[in-house]
Amino acid sequence: MQSDERRLDTGPANGVADAPSDDGAPVAGSGVTRRGLLAAAAVSAGGVVLARLPAGAQAPAAKAAAGAAATQATPAPVATAYELSAVPADPTRAPGPPTSALGARSPFETPSRAPVGIVAGSSLTPLHQLTGTVTPSDLVFERHHAGVALVDPARYELMIHGLVDRPTVFSLDDLKRLPSVSRTMFLECSGNGRGAFRAPKREMSPQAVDGLTSSGEWTGVPLSTLFREVGVRRGGTWFRAEGGDAARLSRSVPMEKGMEDALIAYAFNGEPLRPSNGYPARLMLPGYEGNACIKWVRRIEVANEPGMFRDETSKYTDPLANGTARQFSFVMDAKSIITAPAHPARVAPNVWTQITGLAWSGRGRIVRVDVSVDGGKTWVVAELQEPVLPLAHTRFRVPWRWDGTRTVLMSRAVDETGYTQPTLAEFRDKRGPGTDYHYNYIRSWVVEPDGQMFFGADL
């Protein structure tokens, strides 16, 4: 249960409330805290637009000072870097390095996101350099609108207000005291694949084509738990979430999703979130487009309609071929991509090669992935790596022996609703050339006679 100290109570029985103290603690005889008054002010404003709520009203000065002192007192450990020059010819004849505070990759393994140095934009996961289905924390893709927000966990607070009975401000410790769950699920930017659709190039790797997706284990408190704590009122059919970055990115989400499986996540793959992925807490909406999964989430307003924010009107709507546009198209459609062999790899003829890749769907579980090695003329059913989880990346594999002639590799995903990944021609026909999000058509890889692999830009 949520601590009574952070609830906005109705006051003492005699109807007289003492003034709250500056540090947010309740004064004797009072059920009101500074945080409670802050939440009450937001409600009494009559549904104030989230973007207008002050960022500075997030935490008491005492907690800020304590957090700053703790940060300064604890230097960050640095991972040991293994140098290629230090690798002995015979490791059995030379002692190795000692233990270290953080583990480092082998100097022979150098996966990395790309591009780097982008403040308003993306860096992509190297899909072609990964195995299995779990994305390492330091390789999860990034998408930023105003750079990475650096948030002191001691100052972090999440306000939930609007059409609720008990407007409440939760600290990070409050969230962690509540019952938590862990769910393996994918996260995908709704613009994933834009470059391959708008400006395709043969030299694109799987990272360049579809690197705005990652998958792993997210841990946090179910949003439904928080909604029960604050008491969502009748008529609260939407909630509006605001991020704590300089862009204050905001999105509206149907209440059904919040009560079904949404999380306020504070950990990924067994460790606290990395700053670039929302530390110390973010909204996670399984199967929904990444933009709606607000990072550094600091405010949620329950309302009876969407907020119609900039990031769901001028952006993140889908222009269609008939001149209309679809809005609030949250769910990511079934999709797959072969990650190996693919550009820049080269294959050898007359030897067995493993075709492998990833498939996922925002509507549930992947039930089948078909693979073609002749440009879509014939298809074989791939093996799916267990466990096949809903709303998560699924690894597929097919053994293949290349005969040395030019050919085209393709993959096609089918999810548990029966939805089948469309061809590029079908996608263009339904969505039009100007579509800007949810690119889930079949990807192709051309194998040239010399074995060199290229992205099938026009196939």
The residues, ordered by sequence, that sit 6+ positions from 104 with a Cβ below 8 Å of its Cβ are 79, 80, 81, 82
**Over 70: is that where the pLDDT of 23 sits?**
no
Is residue 106 situated within a structural domain?
A: no
d(CA 304, CA 232): 11
Is residue 112 situated within a structural domain?
A: no
Which pLDDT belongs to residue 146?
Answer: 95
- Pair 363, 270 in one domain: no
Is 236:255 a contact under the CB 8 Å cutoff? yes
The one-letter code for the residue type at 10 is: T
Which pLDDT belongs to residue 72?
Answer: 55
The rounded mean pLDDT for the chain is: 87
**Better-predicted residue by pLDDT, 68 or 370:** 370
- Pair 222, 315 in one domain: yes
Tell me the per-residue pLDDT of 423-455, one tens digit each, with 9 for 90 and over: 999 999 999 888 999 999 999 999 999 999 999
- Pair 322, 341 in one domain: no
- Pair 440, 294 in one domain: no
- Pair 238, 174 in one domain: yes
Is residue 212 situated within a structural domain?
A: no
Residues in the chain: 459
DSSP string for 342-371: -TT-B--TTSEEEEEEEEE-TTS-EEEEEE
Which pLDDT belongs to residue 170?
Answer: 98
The one-letter code for the residue type at 15 is: G
Which pLDDT belongs to residue 74?
Answer: 65
Tell me the per-residue pLDDT of 132-166, one tens digit each, with 9 for 90 and over: 999 999 999 999 999 999 999 999 999 999 999 99
- pLDDT band at 323; cut points 50, 70, 90: confident
Is residue 343 situated within a structural domain?
A: yes
- Pair 316, 346 in one domain: no
Residue 90, class by beta-carbon neighbours within 10 Å (0-12 exposed, 13-18 middle, 19+ buried)? exposed
d(CA 244, CA 298): 6
- What CATH number has the domain bearing residue 260? 3.90.420.10
Is residue 322 situated within a structural domain?
A: yes
- Pair 310, 404 in one domain: no
- What CATH number has the domain bearing residue 388? 2.60.40.650
Token reading at 166: 């008990």
Return the minimum-mean-pLDDT range out of 57-66, 281-290, 323-332, 379-388. 57-66
Domain boundary among 326, 344, 377: 326
Domain boundary among 326, 343, 376: 326
- Pair 397, 451 in one domain: yes
- Pair 197, 224 in one domain: yes
Nearest to 205 by CA among 115, 318, 142, 93: 115
Q: How far is CA 34 from CA 134, 163, 176, 242, 338, in A?
A: 42, 20, 21, 21, 54
Is 5:30 a contact under the CB 8 Å cutoff? no
d(CA 277, CA 149): 9
Is residue 271 situated within a structural domain?
A: yes
**Over 50: is that where the pLDDT of 19 sits?**
no
Domain boundary among 274, 307, 326: 326
Provide the greatest CA pair distance for the chain.
88
The residues, ordered by sequence, that sit 6+ positions from 436 with a Cβ below 8 Å of its Cβ are 191, 194, 318, 319
Residue numbers of the domain that contains 175: 4-8+31-55+146-202+218-326
Q: How far is CA 210 from CA 205, 206, 242, in A?
A: 9, 6, 27
**Over 70: is that where the pLDDT of 332 sits?**
yes
- Pair 265, 360 in one domain: no
- The structure's pTM equals 0.83
Which pLDDT belongs to residue 322?
Answer: 86
Is residue 372 situated within a structural domain?
A: yes
- Pair 341, 410 in one domain: yes
Return the minimum-mean-pLDDT range out of 46-60, 211-225, 301-315, 425-439. 46-60
**Better-predicted residue by pLDDT, 25 or 125:** 125
**How many domains does the chain divide into?**
2
Q: How far is CA 267 from CA 78, 90, 103, 253, 387, in A?
A: 20, 40, 19, 22, 22
387: cis peptide before it, omega within 30°? yes
Query: What is the DSSP-derived secondary structure letter of residue 202?
Result: T
- Pair 348, 320 in one domain: no
Nearest to 242 by CA among 314, 162, 358: 162
**Over 90: is that where the pLDDT of 175 sits?**
yes
Distance of CA 367 to the CA centre of its chain: 23
**Over 50: is that where the pLDDT of 275 sits?**
yes
Is residue 102 situated within a structural domain?
A: no
Token reading at 246: 């300089």
